[in-house]
Structure 1
Amino acid sequence: MVFKRRSPRSFLQWLKNMAYPDGGWQRAGSYVWHRLRRLPDRPERIAKGIAAGVMVSFLPIFGFHFLSAAALAWVLRGNILAALLGTFFGNPFTFPLIVVGAMETGSLILGQGHMATPRRVMSGFKSVWTETMANLHALITPATASWEQTRSFYAEVFLPYMLGGLVVGSIFGVIAYAVSLPIIRAYRARRERKLQKRFERARRAAQKTGQRN
C-alpha cells in the first residue's frame, strides 16, 4: 500500500503520539486547520461540522467522541469530516481547562459544593473500569459484586461533567461556528481570486502566443 508505514508503530509509540503527535501539537493543529479550510463542501456545512466536533469535545464520553461528533454533524446537516477534525479541540493542552469548566458549571447547576480535578476524573474512569471487570469476574466466582464506586463516580463526576459539558460545549460550539464561518468564506474568496488571476494570465499568454503564430 502507498501510505503504509515501513515500520509499524508499537502500542507504546501509538500512546505517545496520542499525547504528543509527531512534529508537535502546533504542526498537528496547522494540518487540521489546513484540512478544514480545503474541505470540498459549503462553508456553512463545514462550520456546522466544526461546531459539532468542538461541542462534543466537552463531554465525558471518551472513546466515543468521533462517533458522537459524526452523529451530531449529521443531525445539524454539517460536514462529518469537519466534525471529526473539530474534536481535536479536545487535546492534552485543553483537557484540564475543559474538565474544570465543565465540572464547575455542572456542580453549580446541581448545587454541589465540590469539584473534581482532571486527575480525579481520570482516576474515576479507571476505578469504574476496574470495578466493572471485577463484577464480571464475580459472575463466575463466589466473589460479591459491588457498584459502589460506579454510583459514586456517576453522582460526583460523570453527571456534573456531562451537564456542564453540554452547557459549556454548546457555548463554545456556537463560538466555533461564528469564528470559523467568516474565515472559511474569506479563504474561499481569496482562493477563487487567485485562481481567476491565474486563469487570466494563462488566457493572455495564450492570446499572445496565438498572435505571434
Structure 2
Amino acid sequence: MSRISPPGYPRRSPAQTQLQLSRNPKLRGPKRSFRRRLQYFYWRLVRLRGSPDAIARGLACGVFAGLFPLFGLQIVVGILLAIALRGNKIVAAAGTWISNPLTYVPLYAFNFHVGQWLLNDDNQINISLSSWPEVEELGLTIISTLLVGCLTVGLVCAFCSYFLGFWLVRRVRDSHRSKRRRQD
C-alpha cells in the first residue's frame, strides 16, 4: 500500500523517514522512547475493535488464566475462555502477561497462602525426601492448595480487571471522541 503525500511535500522512503526521526533530538533518549511507547499503546487501545464490554471480558479471561500455574498454556487457556465468553482474544492473550518469570514466585506463593487460609491448613509444609509415597502425598496437598488459591485469587482479579478494563476503555474512547469534536 503506497502512502500519498500531501501536496507540496516530497515523498520519502521509510529509511529516510527513520533517519530523520533518529536525528530529531525531541524523539531521542529514554524518556522520549518511553513516552512514545505509551502513546503507541494509547492509540492501540483507542483503535482496538470491539465494544468496551467485549474488551473487558477478554482482559478478565486473560488475567484469570494468567494466575494459574499452567506454564506455556496460559495464553491458550485465556483465548479459549475469551472465545467461550465472547471476549476480545487479543486482549485475553495480553492479560495473561500478569504472570511472567519475574512475578511467578511471589504470585504463586501468595496464591498458595490464600489456598492454605481458605482450607484452614495452618501446618507448615516440611519436605523430607525420606520416602516416595510421603512425597507424592505432599505433592497432591501442595497442588490442591495452590489450585484453590489460584482459583480464588483468579476470580477476584478477573472481576476487578473486568471493571477496571471497562472503565479504562470507555474513558480513553470518550476522551478521544471529545478531542475529535473539538478539532472539527
Q: Given that residues 106 and 163 in structure 1 are in contact (C-alpha distance below 8 angstroms), is that contact kept between their aligned partners in structure 2?
A: yes
Q: Among residues 101, 110, 123, which one is paired with 1:101 in the alignment? A: 110
Label 1:94 to 1:151 Cα distance change in 2 as closer, same or farther (>3 A): same
Is 1:107–1:115's contact at 8 Å kept on the other side of the alignment?
A: no
Query: What amino acid maps onto 1:47 in structure 2?
Result: A
User: Would the aligned equivalents of 2:46 and 2:176 in 1 still touch at CA under 8 Å?
Assistant: no
Deviations 1:170-198 (A, max 9, x none): 10111111112111101001112223333
> What SS does structure 1 have at the residue aligned with 2:67?
coil
1:185 paired residue number: 170
Q: Is 1:70 matched up with 2:79?
A: yes
Q: Which amino acid aligns with 1:61?
A: L
Alignment of 1:164 with 2:149, yes or no, is yes
**Equivalent pairs, count:** 144
CA deviation digits over 1:55-93, x for unaligned, max 9?
111111111100110111122221111100111111244
The residue that corresponds to 1:11 in the other structure is none
Partner Cα separation in structure 2 for residue 151 and residue 32 of structure 1: 50
- Consecutive unaligned residues in structure 2, runs of 5 or more: 1-29
Q: Percent identity?
A: 26
Question: Contact (CA 8 Å) 1:50, 1:82: kept in 2 or not?
Answer: yes
Q: Which moved more, 1:182-191 or 1:31-40?
A: 31-40
Q: Does residue 42 of structure 1 match 2:51?
A: yes
Question: What is the rounded CA distance, in whole Å, between the counterparts of 1:70 and 1:96 in structure 2?
Answer: 24
Consecutive aligned runs of 4 or more in structure 1 exceeding 6 Å deviation: none
Q: What aligned pairs does 1:1-213 form with structure 2 within 5 A after superposition?
A: 30=38, 34=42, 35-114=44-123, 152-156=138-142, 158-198=143-183, 200=184
| Cα RMSD (Å) | 2.9
Change (3 A) 1:31 1:171: farther
Q: Is the 8 A contact 1:45 1:77 kept in 2?
A: yes
Q: For residues 60 and 180 of structure 1, what CA distance do their matches in structure 2 show?
A: 23
8 Å contact 1:48–1:78 — kept in the other structure? yes
In structure 2, C-alpha distance between the alignment counterparts of 1:47 and 1:84, rounded to whole Å: 12
Determine if contact 1:73/1:80 at 8 Å carries over to the other structure: yes
Question: Structure 1, unaligned stretches of length 5 or more?
Answer: 1-22, 121-145, 201-213
Q: Is the 8 A contact 1:36 1:85 kept in 2?
A: no
